Structure 1
Amino acid sequence: MNPESIGPQRLRINRFRVRCCASPRNDKNKTTGGRPMRLSQEQLEFFHREGWLFLPELFSQEEVDLLAREAVGIYDANRPEVWREKSGAPRTAFAAHLYNEAFRILGAHPRMIDPVEQLFGEPVYMHQFKINAKSAFTGDVWQWHQDYGTWKRDDGMPEPRAMNIAIFLDEVMPINGPLMLVPRSQNAGDLEASHDLATTSYPLWTLDEDTVTRLVKQGGIVAPTGKPGGMLMFHGNLVHGSAGNITPYPRKIVYLTLNAVSNYIRTPTRPEYIAHRDFAPIKTVDDDALLRLARAPRQAAE
């Protein structure tokens, strides 16, 4: 289905497995063979127009299984970086790349880093790293918001030259709280927002209903879904949110917030594990580093 064929007045929620969002690599083992991962011209044009891009099954099941197991262990830990819902279920775990080897590798993986550096035209550093749980039955909402609104107000980020790039650790379905995006809303710029401290356990700069309604009438809504290992990237000003999850199916997603080195934050107010102060460019690991780690215990046993 071509996204251009859908009228802007319609509510658009789809799985979005179209040609413009296919993986830029064709090799079966999900590696780049040491080559930089490059987005195609078609993918670049789609991202700049729509404000987002989804690449299905970019990471293998073996790689994702490792990350999913490690995420469960992190959620079970009693750490200040692990925030919980009002119910006590895990909501998000920050900075796992600083204390877990699998997520350290993911945070420097070329499949995550190269496309963002290609878009920005310069090196990037890790502004934030989090694993969002959206737990079965108890996963709470994320209100409509722009990420750059928070980065600007709370961290002193000069420009929206940062973006979230995410990996699905569970299958994301229309029923278990998929991320909903408002295409082309990045063109609205930095929108007025209010600081919501009450709706959930996580404070967030949120948009009012009139603003969201106006933008949805112009661009609709899409909700990318897919199997574990899919990668989603979206502009820092793209309006997005997600509903609660009342199904038995968890929806874990890892988010890397990558910021252009020249756009480093000036006046951070949040803890360092939420808004990092290490502005050094990320040095990528080998493309098969995560796969090697996933196979290490089995190889040792053999």
Structure 2
Amino acid sequence: MEGTPDLYPSRVNGKETLSPRLDPVVYGGAQPEVPHSLSQRDLDTFDRQGFLVMNDYMPEMVAPLKREITRLRDDMAGYEELYTEPDSDELRTIFKPFAYSDLIDRFSRDPRILNKVRQILGSDAYLMQSRVNIKPAFKGKSFPWHSDFETWHVEDGMPRMRAVTVWLMLTDNTEHNGPLYVIPGSHHHYASCEGNTGEKNYQQSLKKQMLGVPKPETMEALLDDKGIASVTGQAGTLVFHDCNLMHGSPDNIANDPRSILMFVYNSVENKPVTPFSGLPLRPHYLSNPDQRPLQAVESLWPLAS
């Protein structure tokens, strides 16, 4: 929508700043009558920390999803939705897997996930983005500190902080194979970064992010009283994290890969407008043009058998 105010300016050549978040974190409340909903304690934890880890929550989905992703690697070879590591041909990311897999499409609408998403967002949701992240053994490279919302706001036109990322661990995520690092509570502040966004910046940033990365002094202020937490767990663990949570990850120095399946859910009341960078829209696999509300599916079987 033209004329939408930019409440979270970034990459506009100004001084890098930290400012308070202007939006709620949790838009809904406890819904004990709704199956698979979060408790008030869970919602309070998510509101305070910006993430929630549900250990070993969906272990039965790991094997069928891994088989499906192996198929996608072969079937999608050469597709623009596939990105490799910055310094090798090792596969790093498969974008928009739900468009090529009935199982992954249905899994994104599993009520064990979708009911919680609707609760956090206080509305129906659509799938704005999805990806499989693969951190190959020994070769999987780090990703610097960043807020996803900063990129989605500047480059995709997401107006407000009303989105949540949900991901399933497809392998054990350990301290040694490049786990996600987060700064608990960092989502309550917005880091406005320096720099200017070039056209098709995503072609580089999805391999090695340079823009939207706060400077050390900004990170020092953000870390001052919060510290760093690593998100680890067994395959089958489900994680929710806020769109503005500051996060990053180190190199994978272990002999086992770290793989996850990720969904980004955006509120249907928070649909993107013209990108605040003023640049053309990014590709469909980064900001899904299909913004119809997702409908839950009650069963993944026999697709997951």
Q: Does TM-score exceed 0.5, indicating one fold?
A: yes
Shorter-chain TM-score bucket reads 0.7 to 0.9
Uncovered stretches (5+) of structure 2, i.e. residues with no partner = 1-32, 276-280
**Hey, what does 2:224 align to over in structure 1?**
217
Deviations 1:26-50 (A, max 9, x none): xxxxxxxx96311011111111011
Deviations 1:139-171 (A, max 9, x none): 111110000001100100110101211110000
Note if 1:283 corresponds to 2:295: yes
CA distance in 1, matches of 2:61, 2:206: 32
Q: Secondary structure at the match of 2:220?
A: helix
**Hey, what does 2:20 align to over in structure 1?**
none
Q: In the alignment, is the contact (CA less than 8 A) between 1:172 and 1:226 conserved in 2?
A: yes
Note if 1:73 corresponds to 2:80: no
Note if 1:208 corresponds to 2:215: yes
Where in structure 1 do 4 or more consecutive aligned residues deviate above 3 Å?
193-200
Deviations 1:229-248 (A, max 9, x none): 11111111110000011211
CA distance in 1, matches of 2:220, 2:206: 22
- For normalisation by structure 1, the TM-score amounts to 0.81
**Hey, what does 1:4 align to over in structure 2?**
none
**Hey, what does 2:122 align to over in structure 1?**
121
Deviations 1:116-137 (A, max 9, x none): 1101110000110001001111
| Structure 1 residue 292: Cα displacement | 3.0
Uncovered stretches (5+) of structure 1, i.e. residues with no partner = 1-33, 296-302
Q: How does 1:223-262 map to 2 (within 5 A)?
A: 223-262=230-269
**Hey, what does 1:19 align to over in structure 2?**
none
| Structure 1 residue 70: Cα displacement | 1.6
**Hey, what does 1:59 align to over in structure 2?**
58
Q: Which moved more, 1:176-185 or 1:262-271?
A: 262-271
**Hey, what does 1:184 align to over in structure 2?**
185
Q: How does 1:30-49 map to 2 (within 5 A)?
A: 36-49=35-48
**Hey, what does 2:12 align to over in structure 1?**
none
Q: Secondary structure at the match of 1:294?
A: coil
**Hey, what does 1:150 align to over in structure 2?**
151
RMSD: 2.0
Letter in 1 for 2:120: L
**Hey, what does 1:271 align to over in structure 2?**
283
Letter in 1 for 2:141: D
CA distance in 1, matches of 2:237, 2:139: 23
Letter in 2 for 1:293: L
CA distance in 2, matches of 1:42, 1:124: 23
Q: How many residues in Structure 1 have an aligned counterpart in Structure 2? A: 259
| Structure 1 residue 200: Cα displacement | 6.9
| Structure 1 residue 257: Cα displacement | 0.5
The alignment-based identity, stated in percent, is 32
Which protein is richer in helix relative to its size?
1
Q: Which moved more, 1:74-83 or 1:231-240?
A: 74-83
